[in-house]
Structure 1
Amino acid sequence: MFPRAMKCMKSDKRTLMLLDRCQHLLLTIAQIHHLHARLIVSGAISDPYAAAKLLAFYAISEDGDLAHSRAVFGALRRPTAFAWNTMIRAHADRKQPLDALYLCKHMLRSGFSPNNYTFSFVLRACVELSSLFDGRKFHTQILKRGWELYDFVLNGLIHMYASCGCLDSARRLFDLSTNKDVISWTAMVHGYAKSGRIDVARELFDRMPERNEVSWSSMITAYSQIGMFKEALEVFNEMQLASVKPNQAGIVGALSACGFLGALDQGKWIHVYVERNGMVLDRILGTALIDMYAKCGCIENALKVFDEMPERDVFAYTSMISGLSNHGHSEKAIELFDSMENESVRPNEVTFICVLSACGRMGLVDRGRQIFDSMNRVYGIEPRVEHYGGFVDLLSRAGLLEEARRVVLEMPMEPDPYVLGALLNACRVHGEVELGKETVESLVKLGIDHSGVHVLLSNMHASADQWEDVLQVRKGMEEKKVMKVPGCSMIEIDGVACEFVAGDRSHMCMEEIMSVVEATDVQLKSSDFDDCMVESELAYA
């Protein structure tokens, strides 16, 4: 044998041995490129085994170089099932589900026979796309090949149907399964929770023989998303007692619940937990912390988290702008909006709602007009009714009622209660009784006929010494049986959120609470607050 041929064979063998040794290592993209070059130089790139190994390295690389993966794959004369699966998995992992489905369909059209692993990756792509149509087509292929009973394929089908909202099919497969594991249970819990059937999700969750961090987090997130915040924190606390470490989704759900309940102590505890466990303060987790602190009134802590975030997206900026605006720091909120534009972070619809609110609180009419105008002109965002509401509120607070009225009349959509409520409240403040009456009539036509509307109108008449009209409004409330909605408040005590509703005396510590309230009332009456009057303003959800 010629020396050159002998040398090439030895080189090929050394390269293949190197590939085997590296298969359990997480290589950098530069190291993979180096291996790729060695395979080309040695000629081993034509070996299907070597090419498939190289594809696998590209697929699991953190940098994810799919362009080189496609080049290697395209050079294969006859790809193996392993090579096809590697490419399909790589695209599914890199959030390119359409390409993953295309590859699988191309594989079938090319006469290659997929195996059970192929469909586990493809079903994941269907979930990413929420494509029930494609999922059913691949389910047919799975049935033809008899792979439905493989555990990971069956779990993939259950997850696909549950995620796509086809719960009857998911439940049928789940009930047929003879080897239900934590993945199949969690898929069903997540599916029911996502569809709003929280009672069924909880019933299954309680029956689970084993729970992991994903199943716990699914329940926490589900409760938070439908506004059952107390239940979300209860599940989170149960998770701690079960010694299960929460994942990011569970922590974000718990932080959301803390923010809405004002459970600051528990929110701070979660923040400490995040830091102690070295969790990365990415955009999702950072935004959740900002939102929690802002809603609990700790705007300094929210700013600290915002400044510590290595990357800030539109959601982080919007949460911070909203928090600053709601806590009387409107000037800082507008400065942050300017910084956001300077850093080329594109604002979204919610950002404009928040910054218009900040302009309204500061009375910056010209700046507000400029921002409102820039929505469509600069960013191509068509103002929605919420934006018109913010703009009308800005003009109304500044006393520009005629301009505000003109904006309402020229709106391309029907004004909602918030828009009319902002105008009505301004009419009360500025004594515009006639415009106020017109606005109330518009609200009643929209079906908004609660006590707040009539109380504001009554107050307007009273301010104008129109006492007969005050009696007429009150009489109308009695005739229509308009009931005043009782006020409620919530306070956190030792990590537990307690809710109090006006007129409700059912709390176990009511005697002690009333004793403190009465003592406070006596103290206030004896102080300089005698002439203070608290006015209730109309609020719209």
Structure 2
Amino acid sequence: MLKIPRNLIFGSRHQHTHTHLYFLHTTLHTSNSSCLHQTLRSLVEKCLSISHLKTLHAQIILQGLTHCTLTVSKLISFCALSPSGDLQYARLLFDKTPEPNRHMYNTLIRAYASSKHPEKAILLYHQIVCSGIFPNEFTFPFTLKSCANLQAYREGLLVLVHVMKLGFFKSHTCVQNGLINFFVVCGKIECAQQIFDGIEARTIVSWNSLIHGYSKMGCWKQALLLFCGMREGGFEPDDRTLVSLLSVCSGNYDLELGRFLHWYIEITGVHFDVYVHNALLDMYAKCGRLQTAGAVFNRIIDKNVVSWTSMVSAYAKHGFVKFAKNVFDQMPVKNVVSWNSMISCFLQNGYYREALDSFSKMCNSGMLPDETTIISVLSACSQLGDLATGRKFHDYVLDNIMKPTVTLYNALIDMYAKCGSTEKALDVFLDMPEKNIVTWNAIISALALHGCGFRSIELFEEMEAAGVHPDAITFTGLLSACCHSGLIDTGRSFFHKMIHFYKIPHDTEHYACMIDILGRGGLLEEALQLVGKMPMKPDIVIWGTLLGACRTHRNVEIAKLVLKQLLELEPYSGGLYVLMSNIFCEAERWEDMKKIRKLMKDHGVRKSDAVTSIEIGGRISDFMVDDKRNEASDVVYTVLNQLTDHLKSKGCVLQLNS
């Protein structure tokens, strides 16, 4: 008999492991095979770590005891399912086993179902079926879980066929629960309901799975009826039940139902963990009850990162940037979702420079951005017109993201378009491996914005040839292209085809574009008639577009009609008064111009200050009239005065509009 090396017996730092290996050493010298295998299995069960198990496995190999299937099965179970195990090592053990049994298959399928590689569980399922070993009630639930995780609907249906053929469909609740979860995740709630209705011995898992399914779809009535039926059946709701129902309230902004559930929790004294607290917080926040959400937040003893992030998002959604920033700064631990929430908060409320600053702080903290982060900062660059920074983010995408999503590509197109770089926007579009309707709309609108009307229309034709059906946004871009390129007849054609060929109804934006096309072409009477035919009430954009056309073509009479409508909608808009004043000025109707100026004075209306942005050395600076905030403002105004004096000396007359 080969003796175990002493260092393998006494090399462990844990005294009780010394003792176990000593028992193994003693047992190896006995002739009782049954006692030996029982000792091996006992030692495997009591392993503290994967290193201890590997030490034990080495001795099993040395002693030629790998033929003991039950012992090897214990080894695989520890490696696959123990928190201190090693799934890769478990698979190695499995592959080295000449004839793996059903327990080994089930153990690995279960482990892979909860891992990052659920597809391996499905492959093992096919392997067990092909090997002639019949799956049992422990095989199917985890195989179905893997199909659900991958949304592998066809593979799940194949498992269902096997379940029915082998007689597990009505006799095992755990298999039925697995089927309910599979159909719920795949969006087949009717099939899940049929499985549920056929269960004779329902468990809390059965009820929760179906309630979660209806909650996920926003069907609050069905979810609430199931909740009532569950209680009538003698089942008390648990944390998962309450989280599912509260998510329905959040999705539907149903404060009344949410309050009822909160009342139920408080009255019944149901124990609920941080996840239920977070769901309550989210419900009150989305229903606009920030004070109550804050009270729930303060009651959470063991706040996790979701609790803090939910509170940041709650303040952000309602525009309380200062409060959101205060909560964010207090967070003990931040993850990428937390940073994204804060960046999104700045973005939604117009703090674009602060959004970029937060991104810099995120990177400095060692947190790696994800696609959501990049999309947000690209949007900030779009709003700021910061092309230099936008290019840096594009370089980051190329260097760090192996397979950018279509959404990320679309954000790049939008950024380049809004920053004035149509060529780069088109380059990104042409390099995209996959395009969706948003992609086509983005590039069509981008080219339209910069006067490339003919190219926009060409791309629209390519889009149709690719089998992509246009939507309302597509035609907004096309009509805008016709507007900026003076294509009046083409614009009329698209406007007509929307209804009669593509069956897409006109909305306010389409009317605004068409009126702009006619107005720029000098067809003011036709534009005014189109306004009268609108099925919806014209808004300030429609009338403002027509008023701008009146100034261009010096049509004072229609301008006066339009101004009357505009002043009813927005009586204190300085821009309208100034525009009308300029129209009268250019038509040399001085008395009318004086009346407009008097109206402005009487109503206390003043022209809004315009803002000009300029990029110098990769830095964006904003300037307004009489702006003294910039450190170099004195130098700037000195240079401007010098330029003005120079122009006057050359005989140039400057006409400055009020």
Q: TM-score, normalised by structure 1?
A: 0.83
Aligned amino acid, residue 288 of structure 1: A
Q: Does 1:173 align with 2:296?
A: yes
User: 1:3 aligns to what?
Assistant: none
Mean Cα displacement is larger for which, 107-116 or 31-40? 107-116
- SS for the counterpart of 1:500 is strand
Cα distance change, pair 117–466 in 1 and its aligned pair in 2 (3 A)? closer
**Contact 2:121/2:143 (<8 A) preserved:** no
CA positional deviation for 1:130: 4.4
Counterpart position of 2:37: none
The superposition leaves residues 321-354 of structure 1 with CA deviations (integer Å, 9 ceiling, x where unpaired) of 2221111212212222232233333333333222
Name the structure 2 match of 1:122.
244
**Are the equivalent residues in 1 in contact too, given 2:426–2:443 (CA < 8 A)?**
yes
Does residue 104 of structure 2 align to residue 17 of structure 1? Answer: yes
**Pair 295,384 (structure 1): closer, same or farther in 2 beyond 3 Å:** same
SS at 1:491 equivalent: strand
Quote the Cα distance in structure 2 between the aligned partners of 1:99 and 1:236: 37
Q: Deviations over 1:235-272 (max 9, x none)?
A: 11211221211122222111111110112222122222
Number of the residue aligned with 2:412: 289
Match of 2:177 in 1: 84
Distance 2:599 2:495 in 1: 39
Counterpart of 2:42?
Answer: none
Matched, 1:342 2:461: no
Q: Give the Cα separation in 2 of the matches to 1:71 and 1:516.
A: 83
How far apart are the structure 2 equivalents of 1:82 and 1:515? 82
Quickly say closer, same or farther: Cα 1:203–1:445, change in 2 above 3 A.
same
What is aligned with 1:56?
Answer: 145
Give 1:535 deviation, angstroms: 8.2
Q: Is the CA contact (8 Å cut-off) linking 2:102 and 2:133 kept in structure 1?
A: no
Is residue 454 from structure 1 mapped to residue 577 from structure 2 by the alignment?
yes
Measure the CA separation in 2 of the matches of 1:168 and 1:90: 39
Asked if residue 44 in structure 1 is aligned to residue 130 in structure 2, the reply is no
Which of 166-175 and 334-343 deviates more?
A: 166-175
1:32 correspondence with 2:155: no
What residue in structure 1 maps to residue 14 of structure 2?
A: none
- Secondary structure, counterpart of 2:546 in structure 1: helix
- Show the 5 A alignment for 1:433-472: 433-472=556-595
- For 1:494 and 1:335, the matched residues in 2 are separated by 36
- The 1:126–1:476 alpha-carbon spacing in structure 2 relative to 1, beyond 3 Å, is closer
* CA distance in 1: counterparts of 2:185 and 2:491, whole angstroms: 44
Identify if the C-alpha distance between structure 1 residues 472 and 183 changes in structure 2 by more than 3 Å, giving closer, same or farther.
closer
- Corresponding residue SS for 2:623: strand
**Counterpart among 250, 258, 267 of residue 373 in structure 2:** 250
**2:482 is the counterpart of 1:359:** yes
Change (3 A) 1:363 1:518: same
Check the 8 A contact 1:167/1:191 in 2, yes or no: yes
**Residue matched to 1:300:** 423
SS in 1 for 2:612: strand
Q: Aligned equivalents of 2:186 and 2:313: distance in 1? A: 20
Distance in 1 separating the partners of 2:179 and 2:643: 71
1:192 and 1:68 map into 2 onto residues whose CA distance is: 47
Structure 1 pair 253/367, CA: closer, same or farther in 2 (3 Å)? same
Q: Paired residue for 1:5?
A: none
Letter in 2 for 1:18: Y
Report the alpha carbon displacement of residue 39 of structure 1 after superposing the two structures with TM: 3.8
1:290-315 per-position Cα deviation (integer Å, ceiling 9, x unaligned): 11111111111111222222222222
The equivalent position to 1:266 in structure 2, one of 389, 393, 400, is 389
Matched, 1:184 2:307: yes
In the alignment, structure 1 residue 485 sits paired with structure 2 residue 608: yes
The residue aligned with 1:280 is 403
The code of the aligned residue for 1:56 comes to K
Contact kept in structure 2, 1:325 and 1:355, CA below 8 Å = yes
Q: 1:131 to 1:450 in 2, by over 3 A?
A: closer
Aligned partner letter, 2:560: K
Could you tell me which runs of 5 or more consecutive residues in structure 2 were left unpaired when the two chains were aligned: 1-96, 190-211, 217-221
* Larger Rg over CA atoms: 2
Match of 1:215 among 324, 338, 341: 338
* Aligned-pair CA distance for 1:160: 5.0
Shift of 1:358: 1.0
- Alignment partners' CA distance in 2, 1:242 and 1:262: 27
Q: Which letter does structure 2 place at the counterpart of 1:331?
A: F
Cα distance in 1, alignment partners of residues 302 and 312 from structure 2: 17
1:490 match: secondary structure: strand
Q: Does 1:474 align with 2:567?
A: no
- Bigger drift between 493-502 and 288-297 goes to 493-502
The one-letter amino acid of 1:245's match is L
Residue 407 (structure 1) shift: 0.4
1:25-46 superposed Cα distances (whole Å, 9 cap, x missing partner): 766869827725844984734x
Deviations 1:456-506 (A, max 9, x none): 333333443433333333344333333122211123455554221111212
Aligned CA distance change for structure 1 residues 533 and 343 (closer, same or farther; 3 Å): farther
Distance in 2, matches of 1:312 and 1:487, equals 38
Report the equivalent of 1:7. Answer: none
**Structure 1 CA distance, aligned partners of 2:291 and 2:158?**
42
2:270 and 2:142 map into 1 onto residues whose CA distance is: 26
Query: Matched residues in 2 for 1:85 and 1:142: separation?
Result: 28
Partner SS, residue 101 of structure 2: helix
Deviations along 1:180-200, whole A, 9 cap, x unmatched?
A: 121221122123222333332
Given residue 122 of structure 2, which amino acid in structure 1 is its aligned partner?
Answer: I
The residue matched to 1:276 in structure 2 has which SS? helix
- Which of 391, 396, 404 lines up with 2:519 in the alignment? 396
Change (3 A) 1:127 1:362: same
Q: How far apart, CA to CA, are the structure 2 residues paired with 1:106 and 1:79?
A: 22
Query: Are the aligned partners of 1:213 and 1:246 in contact in 2 as well (CA < 8 Å)?
Result: yes
Cα RMSD between the aligned structures?
3.9
CA 1:414/1:274 → structure 2, altered by over 3 Å: closer, same or farther? Answer: same
Check whether the contact 1:87–1:100 (CA below 8 A) recurs between aligned residues.
Answer: no
Q: Distance in 2 between matches of 1:287 and 1:224?
A: 18
Counterpart of 2:244 in structure 1: which amino acid? V
Aligned-pair distance for 1:207? 0.8
Distance 1:530 1:436 in 2: 31
- Quick check: 123-132 or 249-258, which moved more? 123-132
> Any gaps of 5 or more consecutive residues in structure 1?
1-9, 537-541
CA drift at 1:390: 0.8
**CA shift digits 1:34-81 (9 cap, x unpaired):** 725844984734x22111121122123364555456667785335556
